Amino acid sequence: MSINNPLTKNIEKGRAPFTFAEYKAAGGYQSFANAIKMAPRDVMGQVKDAGLGGRGGAGFNTGLKWSFSPDPDGLPRYLVVNADEMEPGTFKDRLLMESDPHLLIEGMITASYAIQATTGYIFLRGEYTVAEENLLKAIAEAYDNGMLGKNIQGSDFSLDIYLHTSAGRYICGEETALINALEGKRANPRFKPPFPQVSGLWGRPTLVNNVETICNIPGILTYGVDWFKGLGLGDECGTRISGVSGRVKNPGCWEMPVGTTFRTLLEDYAGGMQDGYELKAFLPGGGSTDFLMPEHLDLPMIPGEVAKAGSRLGTSLIMVLDDKTCPVGTVRNLIKFFAHESCGWCTPCRDGLPWVEHILNKMEEGKGEMKDIEILKEMCGYMGPGNTFCALAPGAAEPLQSSLKYFMDEYESHVKHGCSYKSH
């Protein structure tokens, strides 16, 4: 099979997204026709065998996640697409939804069949107005063409898909908080277990998957597991959207084989650093990942490899920190974001992050003290994984702890002399 960019093959800069007819003509909506011939559990099995990892940041095997849902009992169950893209430095789902909405719809239909969902919701961040319009259009077209609604394509399978636009909260990216938001409640996360697969939306079995994850489903069910496995480099499977922001020549995001190195992404795709700027460090996959250093550029963008280097692949959209930007200021900006986006449910996140923000403000204002650095170190452990109710604060601690590791001299210099970078 010659297709090697299943996520973006229909995307062309400057052109309107495919209509239903155009999408279909380009080979779309085949995956459902293939899936419906199989038992739902077998579709799940294919996705599992394909080795598709979740693209939302955690990277868990998608088919495996699906397989935890109990057998259908005739009552409603839900597929929810997490399109609440709000991780600082992340802009890949925007591309997919604005430019090829039918791919997501097709993925949802096929995935819903696999998990026997009766209703699908797209939980879209409200600021994505273009995506909203394009998705609404695509959903309407899918209904008009019998791909949604009762007895899809003459099968026994029925599905409704609704678009829910949110009102701006990073925490909604956490799947259980998203479920609460979708229920019209405050978006505090829920304790797991029970997992949403067992008791999710309105207490019913629910699967929450990222946009890009679902966009991979049509390819797997159209072209097969082997094809999908062949897309990646080495032992890796499939493609993923990676990108770069910051002071590079050509910021953006692109589909590339899983296993591509950071260097290829930064230098080949993004054209390297802007003239006059040196790469000082980079966040490998969003604001909630640990800084990596230039020496890590040759790592392949694979969760395991990045973990070995002490960070997380996250969303695999990297943000470069150049030599003329204050690392302490950068961390302060990130922490301010996370402190503001804390839902206020658990103590370390709610009360720990504002304290960190306060100290970093002091540093930037030249009022920092050496003992503050000790507190910062302590706070990283305090807000660490397992200590909090959800992953927000541990994520927030990652850029902080890695900046303390790599840029301690900067912190000390801030305490002694204040911030020496150009004010931003």
* Residues between 339 and 358 with contacts to another protein, criterion CB under 8 A: 339-348, 350-355, 358
CB of 63 to another protein, least distance (A): 23
Pairing type for strands 206-210 and 78-83 reads: parallel
Q: Choose, by CB under 8 A, the member of 14, 154, 304, 386 that binds another protein.
A: 386
- Extract the runs of DSSP E, i.e. beta strands, from 103-238: 119-124, 160-165, 206-210
126 touching another protein, by CB under 8 A = yes
Six-digit token string for 356: 């960190």
Query: How many Å apart are CA 322 and CA 327, to the nearest integer?
Result: 9
Burial of 173 (0-12, 13-18, 19+ CB in 10 A): buried
Cβ–Cβ < 8 Å for 173, 87: yes
Residue 140 neighbours by CB under 8 Å, 6+ apart: none
Helix (H) / strand (E) element for 241: namely strand 239-245
By CB under 8 A, name the one of 73, 226, 378, 412 that touches another protein.
378
Looking at the Cβ atoms of 171 and 217, the one nearer to another protein is 171
φ, ψ at 416 (rounded to 5°): -80, -45
Q: Which of residues 178-207 bind another protein (CB under 8 A)?
A: 181-187, 190-191, 193-194, 198-199, 202-203
Nearest in space to 97 (alpha carbons), one of 48, 165, 173, 150: 165
Closest CB to another protein among residues 229, 382: 382
Distance CA 327, CA 364 (A): 10
Q: Which of residues 14-43 bind another protein (CB under 8 A)?
A: none
Who's near 290: CB < 8 A, 6+ residues apart?
A: 283, 284, 310, 311, 312, 398, 399, 401, 402
**Site residue total, another protein (CB under 8 A):** 85
175 binds another protein (CB under 8 A): no
DSSP character at residue 309: T
Binds another protein (CB under 8 A): choice among 55, 65, 102, 125: 125
d(CA 282, CA 77) in angstroms, rounded, equals 40
* CA–CA dist 255, 92 (Å, integer): 9
Shortest distance (Å) from residue 93 CB to another protein:
8
Spatial separation of the C-alpha atoms in residues 191 and 317, rounded to whole Å? 29
Find the shortest distance in angstroms from Cβ 207 to another protein.
Answer: 16
Among 209, 388, 401, 402, binds another protein (CB under 8 A): 388
- Interaction with another protein in 227-256: which residues (CB under 8 A)? 243-247, 251-253
Helix (H, G, I), strand (E, B) or coil at 164: strand
Residue 220 beta carbon to another protein: minimum distance, rounded to whole angstroms = 26
CB atoms within 10 A of CB 68: 12
Among 12, 26, 33, 168, binds another protein (CB under 8 A): 168
In the list 116, 209, 239, 330, the residue contacting another protein (rule: CB under 8 A) is 330
48 binds another protein (CB under 8 A): no
Q: Which helix (H) or strand (E) element contains residue 339?
A: helix 327-341
Of the candidate residues 260, 333, 402, 403, the single one contacting another protein (CB under 8 A)? 333
> Does residue 264 belong to the site contacting another protein (CB under 8 A)?
no
Least distance (Å) from another protein to the CB of residue 49? 29
| Strand arrangement, sheet containing 160-165 | 160-165, 119-124, 78-83, 206-210
* Stretch of 160-168, 222-230, 290-298, 401-409 lying at the interface with another protein (CB under 8 A): 160-168
Our CB check for another protein shows the closer of 115 and 237 to be 115
Q: What gap in Å lies between CA 352 and CA 199, rounded to an integer?
A: 30
Q: Is 1 helix (H, G, I), strand (E, B) or coil?
A: coil
* Least gap, CB of 73 to another protein (angstroms): 12
Contact 258, 233 (CB under 8 A): yes
State the minimum distance, in angstroms, from the CB of residue 180 to another protein. 8
What residues from 358 to 377 belong to the interface with another protein (CB under 8 A)? 358, 371, 375
Considering the rule CB under 8 A, would residue 129 count as an interface residue with another protein? Answer: yes
Which one of 114, 317, 376, 380 is in contact with another protein (CB under 8 A)? 317
Q: How far is the CB of 273 from another protein (least distance, A)?
A: 13
Pick one of 1, 4, 151, 162: the residue that binds another protein (CB under 8 A). 162
Nearer to another protein, 190 or 312 (CB): 190
Whole-angstrom distance, CA of residue 366 vs CA of residue 89:
28
Site for another protein in 61-80 (CB under 8 A): 76
